[in-house]
Amino acid sequence: MYPVPGHVALAILGNRYLKADWLPVLIGGLLPDLIDKPLNDIFHWTPHGRYAMHSLTAVVVLTLVVQYFFQWAAAYSYMIGHLSHLLGDADFNPWFWPFVSYRFPQGIDVLDIFSAPGTIFFPGWILLETVILGLVIFLYSRYAEKCSVQAAVLTAIAALTVYRVTRSHPTGYTGL
């Protein structure tokens, strides 16, 4: 998920249903892009905007680091956020990096906002992820207290997320 709303939405779901603490789950939900994207998009040090932080190796290592410096509740919450990020980016992740060699697909980067803004701001994508975030926020309202309402909203979120991961990409775009 390039737009932030989708990653925030998945992290919030981790808070709501997996009892993850707010701050670590949000950090875990956003940190992979905050590290991998600049390393590729700005510095060109990595082959793709989804690299080391988009692997299960990073989840394990950083969860252990958080556990060492904080406590298990923070480590658990961070892990939930990081895993939710990887699930949101399920159309391509180097899951088992560095143990498996990957052929990285061509992607777009954040600097395309200046050269070709249409490649980074797809109104449909941003709208879709904002709708997902809105549905997740709705789950915190008093109108979503009934289990049947929660089940319906979660089903809608799951369907939209599956569509988001499996949708066709714009011409020339093969994998971000």
pLDDT value at position 107?
A: 62
pLDDT value at position 174?
A: 44
pLDDT value at position 105?
A: 74
- pTM value > 0.85: no
pLDDT value at position 16?
A: 93
pLDDT value at position 171?
A: 45
> Going residue by residue through the chain (176 aa), what tens digit of pLDDT does each one get?
455 888 999 999 999 999 999 999 999 999 999 999 899 888 889 888 889 999 999 999 999 999 999 999 999 999 999 999 999 888 888 999 999 998 887 665 555 455 555 555 566 777 888 899 999 999 988 889 899 999 999 999 999 888 877 765 544 444 44
pLDDT value at position 94?
A: 93
pLDDT value at position 160?
A: 87
3-state secondary structure the chain: CCCHHHHHHHHHHHHHHHCCCHHHHHHHHHHHHHHHHHHHHCCCCCCCCCCHHHCHHHHHHHHHHHHHHCCHHHHHHHHHHHHHHHHHCCCCCCCCCCCCCCCCCCCCCCCHHHHCHHHCCCHHHHHHHHHHHHHHHHCCCHHHCCHHHHHHHHHHHHHHHHHHHHCCCCCCCCCC
